[in-house]
């Protein structure tokens, strides 16, 4: 496990502001279930056996950048990626503007941008394209990050914190956007694709990190990648888009493999699970949340904010954990919080936050 701590490493970064954004189409889970039944009824013999996945996902509604009927027709890679570019920029512009305005900071004051996304391809990168929307300085440093998947919210925040620590006083803008719904492939009859249809939503988040100003302190972070685990989670590249890779063993892996990694991470700073006031976990799915509650020794239902984000927004990949953090901050996060997410690699990311709460 690689762990970065603020012990003697320089000034401590703070999360000065955090904002989230969702696209305009709100879709109820019941509507998605009925649509999926119509989509697959004539092509998947056991579709009725798979439909309970929609009822058991812990999701009531999600947001999408496209209306539900748009997904009924086969769509090619180029068309999907065009929609990704257009809608990702719209969401990032909204999230970034709300974030900067909330802490009275202008785009021209931003010194560096870390942009995380794994649901589309952009060259020039999304942050470069965002320069046409917001007046960033021409010398603003840019770090686009692709491939972290669901771990991107935590590990992206860690990369932004590292940049802020390396340049004391600099303002680092973290941008995260995932349009998971666009990865749906109408011709893919695999169980993984149908399960993804029951889980995925779209969303974006933006955070400002600096060693100056107010906000929770980002005190340490770390990650662990398990060897020989590339098949657990990720994408395949198909002619009609990105194909989802999900192992059914993810909940079991979380419960069996995460505890010793978590213990080592916390022990590096002389802490244990009992020292954590708030667990800010990525809501990968209902069974994963149940496994995380056992790992973190919470009662069932104890990860309240994680469950609420899954219920209201679905799984938005990297963006989800920042929605959980926003909700936790609004509710009062306590003195010590731990963010965690799991992503392709198979990788676990951790980031510790501290506040001055009594």
DSSP line for 184-229: --TT---HHHHHHHHHB-EEEEEEEEESSSSS-EEEEEEEEE-TT-
Q: Give the C-alpha separation, 330 to 154, whole Å.
A: 19
Q: What SS3 class is residue 278? A: strand
CB atoms within 10 A of CB 67: 11
Q: Which of 65, 99, 150, 180 is catalytic?
A: 150
Q: Give the C-alpha separation, 259 to 232, whole Å.
A: 18
CA 52 vs CA 55, 227, 231: distances in Å: 5, 33, 25
Q: What SS3 class is residue 15? A: strand
Q: Give the C-alpha separation, 155 to 104, whole Å.
A: 26
Where are the extended beta strands (E) located within the chain?
Answer: 2-5, 14-21, 25-28, 61-64, 112-116, 141-145, 172-179, 202-210, 217-225, 233-238, 241-246, 278-281, 336-343, 347-354
Active site residue 150: yes
DSSP line for 226-248: -TT-TTSEEEEEETTEEEEEE-T
Q: Give the C-alpha separation, 183 to 189, whole Å.
A: 14
Q: Give the C-alpha separation, 264 to 3, whole Å.
A: 9
DSSP 8-state assignment for residue 123 = S
Catalytic residue set: 150
């Amino acid at each position: 496990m690689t762990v970065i701590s603020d012990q003697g490493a320089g000034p401590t970064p703070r999360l000065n502001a955090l904002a989230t954004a969702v696209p305009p189409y709100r879709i109820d889970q019941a509507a998605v279930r009925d649509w999926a039944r119509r989509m697959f009824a004539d092509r998947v013999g056991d579709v009725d056996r798979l439909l309970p996945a929609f009822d058991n996902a812990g999701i009531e509604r999600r947001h999408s950048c496209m209306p539900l009927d748009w997904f009924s027709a086969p769509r090619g890679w180029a068309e999907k990626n065009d929609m990704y570019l257009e809608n990702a920029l719209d969401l990032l512009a909204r999230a970034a503007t709300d974030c900067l305005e909330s802490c009275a900071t202008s785009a021209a004051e931003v010194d560096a941008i870390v942009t995380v996304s794994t649901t589309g391809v952009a060259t020039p990168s999304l942050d470069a394209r965002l320069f046409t929307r917001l007046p960033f300085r021409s010398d603003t440093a840019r770090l686009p990050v692709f491939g972290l998947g669901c771990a991107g919210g935590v590990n992206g925040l860690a990369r932004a914190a590292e940049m802020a620590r390396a340049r004391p006083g600099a303002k680092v803008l973290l941008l995260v956007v995932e349009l998971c719904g666009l990865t749906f492939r109408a011709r893919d009859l695999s169980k993984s694709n149908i399960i993804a249809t029951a889980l995925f939503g779209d969303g974006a988040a933006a955070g400002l990190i600096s060693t100056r100003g107010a906000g929770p302190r980002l005190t340490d972070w770390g990650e662990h990648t398990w060897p020989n685990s590339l098949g657990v989670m990720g994408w395949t590249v198909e002619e009609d888009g990105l194909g989802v890779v999900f192992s059914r063993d993810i909940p079991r892996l979380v419960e069996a493999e995460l505890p010793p990694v978590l213990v080592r991470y916390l022990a590096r700073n002389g802490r244990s699970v009992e020292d954590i006031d708030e667990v800010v976990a990525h809501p990968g799915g209902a069974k994963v949340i149940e496994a995380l509650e056992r790992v973190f020794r919470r009662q069932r239902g104890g990860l309240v904010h994680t469950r609420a984000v899954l219920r209201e927004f679905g799984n938005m990949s990297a963006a989800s954990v920042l929605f959980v953090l926003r909700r936790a901050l609004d509710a009062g996060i306590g003195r010590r919080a731990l963010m965690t997410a799991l992503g392709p690699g198979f990788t676990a990311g951790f980031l510790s936050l501290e506040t001055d709460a009594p």
